[in-house]
Structure 1
Amino acid sequence: MEGLKDRLTARAIEEGFSSIGICRPSSIPEAAGRLADFVGEGLHGQMAWMADRMAWRGNPEALWPEARSIIMLAEVYTPEEDPLDVLKRRDRAAVSVYAQGKDYHDLVKKRLKRLGRWLIAEAGGEIKVFVDTAPVMEKPLGQAAGIGWQGKHTNLLSRDLGSWFFLGAIFTTLELPADAPERERCGSCTACLDICPTRAFPAPFQIDARRCISYLTIEHKGPVAEKLRPLMGNRIYGCDDCLAICPWNKFAVTARETGYAAREAEPPRLAELAALDDAGFRARYSGSPVKRIGRGRFVRNVLYAIGNSGDETLAPVARSLAGDPDPTVADAARWALERLKG
């Protein structure tokens, strides 16, 4: 199988992946307990899908008992510009780097399927592929497979890739040689914890999703707590602060997939985004991860950013949405107006 593994690695790189590692379905025995503690403390917020099928999520052996190996793959999406720069442009929208181009779910899954078909043709067996849409704990598996380690911000880091990469998994019935797990290499650095605007990390290696701006802008339904809104700044979809500040990014490599490049040459203006109706929103973000949150949640976020902009010329924009049929949008518009008056 060693010869097969070498060929598999070469094929993965040829397909466009940047790193590959292999572990066993039994390689993360501590994951189930950590997940249970996280959900038990309510740190997952409204993400009910984390609690659902928890037995599968915490135990890859339960998800597919026939699997003998898990092939973990990393694909980089390193930005060309510093994602922190747009935070100073208060009339513009900050969108997380991963969501500025095409939907990574589609791009990574196609690559995984091609690699999986190649593996079957070479060695037989069965496969299942996963990209962030099934009860699979990709980050612990990525560490077990040697791709990187979970940093103090709980995201996966790599000595060779930095912070900017997606993870995909191929479960297979083939028993392939496993790689050694990666060890944690954050040392005394706390840059990712210190930069978090909402203090979403109760302690190193722990996250309270209910305070995380990525969670608040993407997963959280309804109004965001008023004490957190000013801390969101102009971030309207996700947050890259803890990733962008990481010193390991000096080893980040250039993205090979052009589909991850930003669709727009400049960060969009808040006034322009606030004016989108449902049809306009769906058309603008077709094929983008942004589309999944819907127009209501999206415009809610834009209005929080308008309220944080300090730009009184945006007051008419907020005023025009104060009577929006979506009560959450209307609430955000009224809040933005009060902030701009203040």
Structure 2
Amino acid sequence: MTVGDHAAEAGHVPVMLDRVLELAAPAVDRVTGRAPVHLDATLGMGGHAAAMLAAHPDLRLIGLDRDTTALERSARRLEPFGDRVTLVHAVYDEIPDVLARLGVPALDSVLFDLGVSSPQLDEADRGFAYSYDAPLDMRMDRTQDLTAAEVVNGYPPAELARILREYGEERFAQRIAAAIVRARTEAPLDSTAKLADLVRTAIPAATRRTGGNPAKRTFQALRIEVNGELETWRRALPAALDALPVGGRVVVLSYHSLEDRITKRLLAAQAADTTPPDLPVPLPEHQPRFRLLTRGAELPSDTETTTNPRAGSVRLRAAERVREAT
């Protein structure tokens, strides 16, 4: 099987695959005296992982995912690569603990493909999509307790409005939160269809006619809250950077501005010269620890977004460690 065959198996099309492989290659092809180790911190369907393994025959892959269903499917997909693959049920901010348990001192490359995966969107009973009527769930890890139904039916009005405003960038957050509170006093909001209809009627009529489904931002906000996505991401990226030696690389695929803003800020801080302006001679500890491999955020090609519409919102950033931590 070729790299492309592995990537396209089961109809799954990994986003910006060629660019991900290109950016990771210098890190995993370095001569280090040991087998290179690549961490796929958001394994999903295993498309990027399979392509990496096919392209680098000596590569050892560690795959993390909080979704047990995704791990089961990836295990079947990656079975031909045998003991080169280690899969772990974990959230990506648990990277230090995972590496310690596995006895892995350092990583050569790391990939984060953030956000909700295609199978999670396509499986109606997961409750991620407003296009299906399903229970309000939205848990990436179905072993956790908090669901979207509990958020919608149990959070105070002010907290609901804050989540919609901050995580969904919803300008009608107050109106939607008030509508949710009124509705739940009569009966619990327990389905995606009920919530999507409520959001549609809560916002001004003129707004409903443009910008796609008006429930999109509300569903995004609830998903982020249920899964603690932004707080987890703020911990996960620094943990991954700490695990990279000089020459190691990280690639991040983000799908909305909140994730990308965090990524941009954290990578920029690592790539900055922190020499105080009154210091006459720069000291090593003030020199950048990483260099940015992308100029701003890279976007997918028009061809890719045509064939894979879910790639339309992706933003890619990458960096390479150039100095050991002091």
Q: TM-score, normalised by structure 1?
A: 0.29
Structure with greater helix share of residues: 2
RCO (CA 8 Å, sep 6+): is it higher in 1 or 2? 1
